[in-house]
Amino acid sequence: MKKSFFTVAGNRLLAENTYEMVLRGDSSAVKKPGQFVHIALDGFYLRRPISVCDWSEHSITMIYKTVGKGTAYMAGLEEGDRLEVLTGLGNGFDSKKSGNKPLLIGGGAGIPPLYALAKKLMQEQKQVFAILGFNRVDEVFYAEEFASLGVNVIITTVDGSVGRKGFVTDAMEIDMADYTYTYSCGPEPMLKAVYEKAVSDGQYSFEERMGCGFGACMGCACQTKYGSKRICREGPVLEKEEIVW
C-alpha cells in the first residue's frame, strides 16, 4: 500500500453514467490486475474504492459508474485536479491459474478490472474469451478495447439492443464450451449465476462497503469456507471453491 497524490490527466464520458479517468502519479504499488485504489474525495469522510482498469509506470486508468454522490463528484473533476489515493490494495487476480483458454465474465462496473487481466493473459499467450454484460446498448464500453488486445469478445445486453440478448450466463451456455478457467467480476447476483453455471474453477471479485480499505477495521469481512476474509485484503478476489453465498 502506498498513499500519494495523483493528478487527473483525463476524465471522459465513456457510456451512459460511465466515465474513464486517467490519473498521473506514482503507480509503483500496483502489482496485479484486480487490485483497487482507494480515493479520498473532498467533503466525503470515507474513500471510494475503484478497481485498476489499466496502469503504466506513471498512470492508472479507472472506469467508474456514477451511482451516488461520491462518483458524481468524481465525474465533475477536471484535468489538473489533484486526488489523494491509496494504491496497491487487494490481492488481485492470479493469471497463473488460467489454463490455456480462460473465460472472463464481467457485468457493468465489474468489467474494468478484467481489462488489465485480459492484457496480462494475452501477454502470457493465452486464448482469452470475454463475455461483457450490459443492460442496454447505451451502457456498453470497452468492447473495442478488449478486442484490440486480441480477446474474443461477446457482448450481451438484457434488452438485446446490441450483442446477444440476455444475461452473461446465457452466453456462457450458448457461445462457450471448453474454457479452462473463469474470472468474473460484477454485481453479486451475476457472480452467483456465473458461479452456478461455470464448469471450471475460477476467481470471483467481490465488492463490499469499506471503512479503511487496507485491512484495519474489519468493515469488509465476509465468511468463506476457509474462515473470515477481508474483501479489501484477502479479497476482493476469492477462489470459487471458498465462496459462501
Partner 1 sequence: MVDTSINLSGLHLSNPIIPASGTFGFGYEFAEIYDINILGSFSFKGTTKEPRFGNAAPRIAETHAGMLNAIGLQNPGIDKVISEELPKLKQVFSKPVIANISGFSLEEYAYCCEKIDKEEQVGIIEVNISCPNVHEGGMSFGTSPESAAAVTKAVKAVTSKPVYMKLSPNVTDIAEIAAACEEAGADGISLINTLTGMRIDLKRKKPILNNVTGGLSGPAVLPIALRMVWEVYKKVSIPIIGMGGVSTAEDVIEMMLAGATAVSVGAANLKDPFASKNIIESLPDAMKELGIKKLTDIIGGAHNA
Ligand X SMILES: Cc1cc2nc3c(=O)[nH]c(=O)nc-3n(C[C@H](O)[C@H](O)[C@H](O)COP(=O)(O)OP(=O)(O)OC[C@H]3O[C@@H](n4cnc5c(N)ncnc54)[C@H](O)[C@@H]3O)c2cc1C
Ligand Y SMILES: Cc1cc2nc3c(=O)[nH]c(=O)nc-3n(C[C@H](O)[C@H](O)[C@H](O)COP(=O)(O)O)c2cc1C
215 contact, one of ligand Y, ligand FES, ligand X, none, CB 5-8 Å limit per kind: ligand FES
Q: Which runs of E-coded beta strand occur in the chain?
A: 2-15, 18-24, 36-40, 48-51, 54-56, 59-65, 82-89, 102-107, 129-134, 152-157, 164-165, 181-185, 202-205, 221-224, 227-230, 237-239
Using CB under 6 A as the binding rule, whether residue 115 contacts ligand X is answered as no
Distance CA 103, CA 93 (A): 13
Give the footprint of partner 1 on this chain (CB under 8 A).
1, 3, 40, 44-47, 86, 208-212, 214-223, 228, 233
Q: By C-alpha distance, which of 198, 201, 209 is closest to 231?
A: 209
- What minimum distance in Å lies between the beta carbon of 97 and ligand FES? 24
Q: Which residue's CB is nearer to ligand Y, number 10 or number 219?
A: 219
Q: Which residue's CB is nearer to ligand Y, number 65 or number 230?
A: 230
Using CB under 6 A as the binding rule, whether residue 217 contacts ligand X is answered as no
1 contact, one of ligand X, ligand FES, partner 1, none, CB 5-8 Å limit per kind: partner 1
Residues composing the chain: 245
Interface of this chain with ligand Y, residues 191 to 220, rule: CB under 6 A: 211, 217, 219
CB-neighbour burial class of residue 136 (10 A; exposed 0-12, middle 13-18, buried 19+)? middle
Cβ atoms of residues 37 and 59 within 8 Å:
no
Among 190, 210, 238, 243, binds ligand FES (CB under 6 A): 210
Q: Which stretch binds ligand FES (CB under 6 A): 63-71, 123-131, 185-193, 209-217?
A: 209-217
Q: Which residue's CB is nearer to partner 1, number 41 or number 122?
A: 41
DSSP 8-state assignment for residue 135: S
Applying CB under 6 A, the residues found at the interface with ligand Y are 211, 217, 219
